[in-house]
């Protein structure tokens, strides 16, 4: 864990080593937030606190509770962004139950546990933002596990909204469309062109655009309980 400058605002984010997570961390740091990242790989963001943890292992999560509490101590406003995810392709005929459990552990169980640990630090004005997907509200072939988990993320957000009513803490689910990240680039150039063509704007989304949207969501309580699509206008089949 590295040192960071003191701030009354703190971001706790999972998976900020690259992609959307890193862009979100950079955006919040620019807004004066102390950044605390939870992942296996360190975030390259200078000055951020990195807590090394494998979110797929419940025992590992339990081991960081005290360290996490120390990292957020003193923050008057806390923004929690559940970004980490595991994507294993496969349709309902081939997806293994063990693969689905692994995706649920990172995408749903870990956020639930982190919320429970951070509740004592979530003062009025704090926020919890879940990173969903276009597959939070629809499905596509050969992505049964990911779609199932992202639907569950949306359900967890809605439950968070109801259960934290009256606390002054707001929550929402930001659902990015096809974003130009390392995860997407692994599909290759032709696939990227195809995915870009599926939006009305005919391009991929930049991680910085999603980061701006997440920052807006975290700082505007009016979106409490909302599902926010950030997909450039998805073209319906």
pLDDT tens string 101-119: 999 999 999 999 999 999 9
Does the structure show a pLDDT above 80 at 3?
Answer: no
- Of 82, 105, 117, nearest to 12 by C-alpha is 82
**96, HSE (Cβ side, Cα atoms, 13 Å):** 5
Q: Binning pLDDT at 50, 70 and 90, where does residue 72 land?
A: very high
Task: Give the global pTM.
Answer: 0.93
Highest mean pLDDT among 4-8, 104-108, 187-191: 104-108
**Average pLDDT for 196-205:** 84
pLDDT, tens digit, for every residue of 128-157? 999 999 999 999 899 999 999 999 999 999
Task: Determine the Cα–Cα distance for residues 158 and 178; give it in Å rounded to an integer.
Answer: 24
Does the structure show a pLDDT above 50 at 4?
Answer: no
- Of 207, 227, 208, nearest to 217 by C-alpha is 227
Q: Supply 232's token pair.
A: 């450039």
The rounded percent of the chain whose pLDDT value lies above 70 is 94
Q: What is the pLDDT of residue 188?
A: 61
Does the structure show a pLDDT above 80 at 121?
Answer: yes
How would DSSP label each residue in the chain? -------SEEEEEE-TTSHHHHHHHHHHHHTT-EEEEEESSPP-STT-EEEE--TT-HHHHHHTHHHHHHHHTT-SEEEEEE-------B-TTT--HHHHHHHHIIIIIHHHHHHHHHGGG--TT-EEEEE--GGGS---TTBHHHHHHHHHHHHHHHHHHHHTTTTT-EEEEEEE-SB-SHHHHTT-HHHHHHHHTTBTT-SPBPHHHHHHHHHHHHH-GGGTTEEEEESS-BPP-
Comparing 6-10, 115-119, 195-199, which segment has the lowest mean pLDDT?
Answer: 195-199
Q: Binning pLDDT at 50, 70 and 90, where does residue 5 land?
A: very low
Comparing 42-46, 54-58, 190-194, which segment has the lowest mean pLDDT?
Answer: 190-194
Q: Supply 216's token pair.
A: 């807006």
Q: Binning pLDDT at 50, 70 and 90, where does residue 194 land?
A: confident
The rounded percent of the chain whose pLDDT value lies above 90 is 80
**Average pLDDT for 75-96:** 96
**Average pLDDT for 94-106:** 97
Q: Supply 65's token pair.
A: 């509770």
Contact (Cβ atoms closer than 8 angstroms) between residue 24 and residue 30: no
Task: Determine the Cα–Cα distance for residues 210 and 216; give it in Å rounded to an integer.
Answer: 10
Does the structure show a pLDDT above 60 at 33?
Answer: yes
- Of 6, 8, 4, 5, nearest to 123 by C-alpha is 8
Task: Determine the Cα–Cα distance for residues 1 and 34; give it in Å rounded to an integer.
Answer: 13
Strand partners, 11: 35, 79
Task: Determine the Cα–Cα distance for residues 84 and 105; give it in Å rounded to an integer.
Answer: 11
Q: What is the pLDDT of residue 218?
A: 98
* 49 against 189, higher pLDDT: 49
């Amino acid at each position: 864990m590295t040192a960071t400058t003191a701030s009354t605002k703190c971001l706790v984010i999972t998976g900020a080593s690259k992609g959307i997570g890193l862009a979100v961390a950079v955006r919040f740091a620019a807004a004066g937030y102390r950044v605390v990242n939870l992942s296996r790989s360190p975030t390259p963001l200078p000055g951020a606190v990195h807590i090394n943890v494998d979110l797929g292992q419940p025992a590992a999560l339990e081991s960081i509770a005290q360290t996490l509490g120390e990292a957020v101590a003193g923050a008057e406003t806390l923004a929690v962004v559940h970004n980490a995810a595991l994507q294993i392709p496969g349709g309902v005929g081939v997806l293994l139950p063990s693969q689905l459990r692994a995706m649920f552990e990172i995408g749903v169980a870990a956020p639930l546990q982190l919320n429970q640990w951070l509740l004592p630090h979530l003062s009025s004005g704090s926020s919890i933002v879940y990173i969903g997907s276009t597959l939070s509200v629809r499905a596509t072939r050969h992505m049964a596990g990911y779609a199932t988990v992202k639907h569950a993320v949306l359900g967890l957000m809605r439950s968070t909204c109801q259960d934290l009513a009256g606390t002054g803490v707001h929550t929402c689910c930001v659902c990015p469309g096809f974003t130009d990240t390392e995860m997407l680039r692994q599909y290759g150039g032709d696939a990227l062109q195809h995915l870009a063509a599926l939006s009305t704007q005919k391009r991929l989304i930049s991680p910085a655009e999603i980061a701006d949207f997440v920052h807006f969501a975290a700082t505007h309580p009016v979106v409490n309980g909302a599902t926010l699509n950030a997909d450039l206008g998805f073209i319906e089949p």
